[in-house]
């Protein structure tokens, strides 16, 4: 006895292998073994082509875009970089913002708060790290 499933992987019926072969011949299609005792009736070439296509689509690489800010970044440069960050997030890229802090002033934290404030309307997850005097901010699109 085997399980015969449809394209949506829902169980159609449980029948013998001979009956399934006859049914496949009547429909002029192939009987394809998916797993042990699990079969599907479909065109063999089309089935394996779609399987390769799904596998290829699942292997997309995650792209990380890196932007560097300095504590003395001027407002115009800041807004240009914010626009870049927005385009990266819309394209589903991971954005890594690196803030180079040569002086020990509080401008760097203010800069990060400004970045986060400008990106509030986007659905993102944020991770913040401090490495010596420098800061890292990761933005992950959801």
CATH label of the domain that carries residue 132: 3.30.110.10
In this structure, the strands spanning 64-70 and 94-100 are parallel
Can you read off the two tokens belonging to residue 32? 């394809």
The domain tally of the chain equals 2
In angstroms and rounded to an integer, the radius of gyration of the C-alpha atoms of the chain is: 27
pTM score, whole prediction: 0.53
**Close Cβ partners of 103 (under 8 Å, ≥ 6 residues apart):** 71
Q: Provide the b/e sequence for 54-84 (b: ≥16 CB within 10 Å).
A: eeeeeeeeeeebebebbbebeeeeeeebeee
Answer yes or no: do 90 and 23 share one domain. no
The 10s digit of each residue's pLDDT in 33-76 is 988 889 999 888 888 888 888 877 766 677 888 888 887 777 78
The 10s digit of each residue's pLDDT in 91-136 is 888 899 888 777 666 666 777 788 888 888 888 888 888 777 777 8
CATH label of the domain that carries residue 12: 3.10.20.80
Domain finish residue from 58, 87, 105: 58
């Amino acid at each position: 006895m085997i399980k015969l499933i449809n394209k949506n992987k829902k169980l159609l019926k449980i029948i013998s292998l001979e009956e399934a072969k006859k049914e496949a011949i009547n429909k002029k299609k192939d009987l394809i073994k998916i797993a042990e005792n699990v079969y599907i009736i479909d065109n063999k070439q089309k089935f394996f082509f779609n399987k390769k296509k799904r596998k290829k689509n699942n292997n997309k690489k995650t792209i990380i875009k890196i932007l560097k800010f300095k504590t003395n970044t001027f407002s115009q440069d800041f807004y240009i970089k914010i626009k870049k960050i927005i385009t990266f997030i819309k394209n589903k890229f991971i954005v890594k913002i690196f803030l180079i802090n040569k002086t020990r002033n509080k401008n760097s934290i203010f800069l990060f708060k400004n970045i986060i404030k400008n990106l509030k309307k986007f659905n993102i997850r944020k991770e913040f790290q401090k490495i010596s005097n420098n800061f890292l901010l990761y933005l992950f699109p959801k």
